[in-house]
């Protein structure tokens, strides 16, 4: 068939496009097309469910000490005691139950730290980017100073000042992670501030506050969501590290990092006491990072090439 003879060519080859789908649905489809991200999401949701229903799922009280079953190995190892699937620790506490309750701490740490860091970071970044000038210079220098310290070191020192403990550890980590949000927001605001739609809103009489939060902020949401996900996993890792160093959650809290610190001396004799909490941290953090990667690919238009 010769193409030139086709009288209907133009109309036929220009069909009405598919009905426009909402951006959320489109993003979801793209995200769900990423197998790793989907696996991460499922694992993460499972962790959330485990954390919520911990008292129902856990076979034992996480603090209960079974004196007749000290350092019992997990079920597949010879010498395992029935009822302790993943074995017990040196005080005879059920490791599985402690891990299940530990999920509550890790998720809470992630949530609290990210909320704190996100909210302050956004406010600080918006103010710096929107007002510019010396306000911007001052704020950004402060952020530079925070970022000049290795984050774990700064968190350690902050905790040393305000005293060890889970809450203080979360506070310290939030302080350390917050500049990333501030920088991101500021950068986005600087880029968006002089765009036409912001001008239009300004001309229409929108006030500063309204401009910042209702007009500019929604347009830099994508990178912030990605950063929030990465910070979530970072927060869990750093809190666990602080717990491991004895500066985070204190024993007998079943926080995973703290559990590892208690288990250190049994490294030669009872590997499961050491292995299990770390595995729990790794799986949770890995799941969140998989989600983060998926979100980045979905929300970053530069990467989205079909």
Partner 1 sequence: MALLEVRNLSVSFETAAGRFFAVQGIDLSVDRGEVLAIVGESGSGKSVAMLAVMGLLPPTATVTADALRFEGRDLLAMSARERRGMSGSEMAMIFQEPVASLNPCFTVGFQIEETLERHTDLDRAARRARAVELLAAVGIPEPEERLRSFPHQMSGGQCQRVMIAIATACNPKLLIADEPTTALDVTIQKQILDLLLRLQAEHGMGLVLITHDMGVVAETADRVIVQYNGRKMEDTDVLSLFERPQNPYTRALLSALPENARGGRLPTVSDFAPGGAA
Partner 2 sequence: MLRFILHRLLLIVPTFIGITLVAFVFIRLLPGDPVLLMAGERAVSPERHAELMAQFGFDQPLWRQYVEYTGGLLHGDFGYSFSSKRPVLSEFMARFPATLELAFCAMLLATVLGIAAGILAALRRGSWVDQLTMGTALVGYSMPIFWWALLLIILFSTNLGWTPVSGRISLTQFFPTVTGFMLIDSLLAGKPAAFWSAVQHLILPTIVLATIPLAVVARQTRSAMLEVLGELYVTTARSKGLAPRRIIWLHALRNALIPVVTTIGLQVSVLMGGAILTETIFSWPGIGKWMIDSISRRDYQVVQGGLLLIAAMVMLVNLTVDILYGLINPRVRYR
**Binding stretches for partner 2 (CB under 8 A):** 36, 141-142, 144-145, 147-154, 156-157, 160-161, 233, 237, 240-241, 244-247, 257, 260, 264, 267-268, 271, 274-275, 277-278, 281-282, 285-286, 288-290, 293, 305
The answer to whether the beta carbons of residues 73 and 270 sit under 8 Å apart is yes
The whole-angstrom separation of Cα 68 and Cα 268 is 21
Residue 268: CB minimum distance to partner 2, A: 5
Residue 207: CB minimum distance to partner 1, A: 37
Residue 298: CB minimum distance to partner 1, A: 14
Single residue of 13, 22, 194, 268 touching partner 1 by CB under 8 A: 13
Per rule CB under 8 A, is residue 194 in the interface with partner 1? no
Please state the separation of Cα 39 from the chain's center in Å.
16
The whole-angstrom separation of Cα 305 and Cα 48 is 33
Give the CA distances from residue 267 to residues 34, 166, 250, in Å, rounded to whole numbers and listed in that order: 38, 25, 20
Residue 115: how many other CB atoms lie within 10 Å? 12
Single residue of 4, 22, 194, 268 touching partner 1 by CB under 8 A: 4
From the list partner 1, partner 2, none, partner contacted by residue 92 (C-beta under 5 to 8 A by kind): none
Q: Which residues pair with 88 in a beta bridge?
A: 94
> CA end-to-end span of the chain, whole Å?
31
Q: Which residues pair with 94 in a beta bridge?
A: 88
DSSP at 81: P
Coil, strand or helix at 28 = helix
From the list partner 2, partner 1, none, partner contacted by residue 252 (C-beta under 5 to 8 A by kind): none
Per rule CB under 8 A, is residue 15 in the interface with partner 1? no
Single residue of 26, 32, 33, 210 touching partner 1 by CB under 8 A: 33
Residue 10: CB minimum distance to partner 1, A: 4
In the complex, which residues of this chain contact partner 1 (CB under 8 A)?
Answer: 3-4, 7-14, 33, 306
């Amino acid at each position: 068939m010769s193409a030139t003879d086709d009288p209907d060519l133009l109309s036929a080859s220009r069909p009405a496009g598919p009905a426009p789908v909402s951006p959320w649905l489109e993003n979801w489809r793209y995200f769900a097309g990423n197998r790793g991200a989907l696996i991460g999401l499922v694992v993460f949701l499972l962790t959330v469910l485990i954390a919520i229903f911990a008292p129902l799922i856990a076979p034992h009280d996480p603090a209960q000490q079974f004196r007749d079953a000290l350092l019992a190995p997990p079920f597949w190892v010879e010498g395992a005691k029935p009822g302790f699937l993943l074995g017990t620790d040196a005080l005879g506490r059920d490791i599985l139950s402690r891990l299940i309750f530990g999920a509550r701490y890790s998720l809470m740490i992630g949530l609290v730290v990210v909320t704190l860091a996100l909210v302050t970071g956004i406010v600080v970044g918006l103010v710096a980017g929107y007002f510019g000038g010396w306000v911007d210079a001052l704020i950004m220098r402060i952020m530079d100073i925070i970022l000049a310290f290795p984050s774990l070191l700064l968190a350690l020192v902050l905790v040393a000042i305000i005293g060890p403990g889970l809450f203080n550890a979360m506070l310290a980590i939030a302080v350390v992670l917050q500049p990333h949000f501030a920088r991101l927001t500021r950068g986005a605001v600087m880029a968006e501030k002089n765009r036409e739609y912001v001008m239009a809103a300004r001309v229409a009489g929108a006030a500063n506050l309204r401009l910042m939060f209702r007009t500019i902020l929604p347009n830099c949401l994508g990178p912030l969501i990605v950063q929030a996900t990465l910070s979530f996993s970072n927060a869990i890792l750093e809190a666990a590290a602080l717990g491991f160093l004895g500066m985070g959650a204190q024993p007998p809290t079943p926080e995973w990092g703290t559990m590892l610190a208690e288990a250190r001396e049994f490294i030669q004799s009872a590997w499961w006491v050491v292995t299990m909490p770390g595995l729990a941290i790794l799986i949770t953090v890995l799941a969140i990072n998989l989600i983060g990667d998926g979100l980045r690919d979905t929300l970053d238009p530069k990467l989205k090439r079909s």
